[in-house]
Structure 1
Amino acid sequence: MKNLPQKVRSRKLNSRVDLTAMVSVSFLLIIFFMVTIELRKPKAVDLSLPNNDCDDCHPGCVDETRIYTILLDDNNKIITYSGLLEFPLEIPKEIIYGQNGIRKELLQKRKNILEYSASIGKPKNGPIVIIKPSKKSNFKNLVDILDEMEITKIDTYAIVNEFTPEETKLLASK
């Protein structure tokens, strides 16, 4: 018998795919999307509002001696007054930004109001600051005032964008 040529069998190679790079890329994508989702979440400023418990009158009332209003206008102008503008506890005045301006005034108001509150038996009732930026004021001024609230440890304040006619006249006159 003749030697029949043997069939040449092809050798099968190991077909193994290395997925190391694919796993690394997928983890990088997961981390990227987690970070972008976290950065996209809106950030908010904590806002403390006055308590609604009033001893002698209807709910929601506030002692007007605790109210201090800050009006922000263009050219870094600040006008402040205590109480209600119809019956202010002191004459509205113009104040500058900075350590010797609004910060000094806020620290003094806080001290006076806390002393007054302690004298009437409510030692935790601090000042209530109403911040009213006008349409002419810039964003930096609002951020500066919010920084002053944090520095002076005034935790009850509100940003209001509605002006009374008296406040509009006050801004126009000063």
Structure 2
Amino acid sequence: MKNLPQKIRSKKLNTRVDMTAMVSVSFLLIIFFMVATELRKPKIMDLSLPDYDCDDCHPGCVDATRIYTILLDDNNKIVTYSGLLDYPREAPKELTYGENGIHKELLNKQKAILEYSTALGKPKSGAIVIIKPSKKSNFKNLVDILDEMAIAKIDTYAIVDEFTLEESKLLASN
């Protein structure tokens, strides 16, 4: 008999997989998804809208003393007036942003209007603010005014994009 060549068997090695890189990648993925989830949360502001079902909601039923209009223009310019522009309760004035400007004015207006409404027997009737940004104003100014509404606790306000001819003249003159 001839010697048959023997099969060469390879030596079995213990297979060991290094999981260090996989653990690092999984932690990075967990951190990424946690941060992405936090950044994806909407940043919103509460907005109160009027009840359109009420029968007595028409333009003539609002006391003009409660109306306060803010006109926003370019270069951080703010012009305000109380009441209606045809019959203003006080002369229109130009204000600035900041603690001694529009911030102080809104707090004083809200306080005065709440006192006036309480005297009339309507204790929760605060200021009605009409915000009118011009086409030249920037978005930051509008957001700043909305922040001031929240700080002054003014719940009733509207953003209107139409200027009357008198308001356009008022902005041009100041």
TM-score calculated relative to the size of structure 1: 0.76
Q: CA deviation at 1:150?
A: 3.5
Partner Cα distance (1:58, 1:46) in 2: 22
Partner Cα distance (1:146, 1:116) in 2: 24
SS at match of 2:88: coil
The amino acid that maps onto 2:12 is K
Q: Is the 1:52–1:59 contact (alpha carbons within 8 Å) kept by the matching residues of 2?
A: no
Q: CA deviation at 1:7?
A: 5.8
For 1:17, the equivalent position in structure 2 comes to 17
Q: CA deviation at 1:114?
A: 0.3
For 2:81, the equivalent position in structure 1 comes to 81
How many equivalent residue pairs?
173
Quick check: 1:94 aligned with 2:94?
yes
For 2:109, the equivalent position in structure 1 comes to 109
The amino acid that maps onto 2:21 is A
| Cα RMSD (Å) | 3.2
Q: CA deviation at 1:123?
A: 0.9
Partner Cα distance (2:128, 2:29) in 1: 48
Quick check: 1:72 aligned with 2:72?
yes
For 2:151, the equivalent position in structure 1 comes to 151
- 1:20-72 Cα distance to aligned partner (Å, 9 max, x none): 422431342243134224424442222233455768x2468543322211001
Task: Say which structure is richer in strand.
Answer: 2
For 2:133, the equivalent position in structure 1 comes to 133
Q: Is the 1:129–1:156 contact (alpha carbons within 8 Å) kept by the matching residues of 2?
A: yes
TM-score calculated relative to the size of structure 2: 0.76
The amino acid that maps onto 1:99 is E
SS at match of 1:75: coil
Q: Is the 1:47–1:158 contact (alpha carbons within 8 Å) kept by the matching residues of 2?
A: no
Once the two structures are overlaid, the 10-residue window that deviates more, 68-77 or 15-24, is 15-24
Structure 2: which 5+ residue stretches go unaligned? none
For 2:49, the equivalent position in structure 1 comes to 49
For 2:31, the equivalent position in structure 1 comes to 31
Residue 54 to residue 115, structure 1, CA distance change in 2 (3 Å): farther
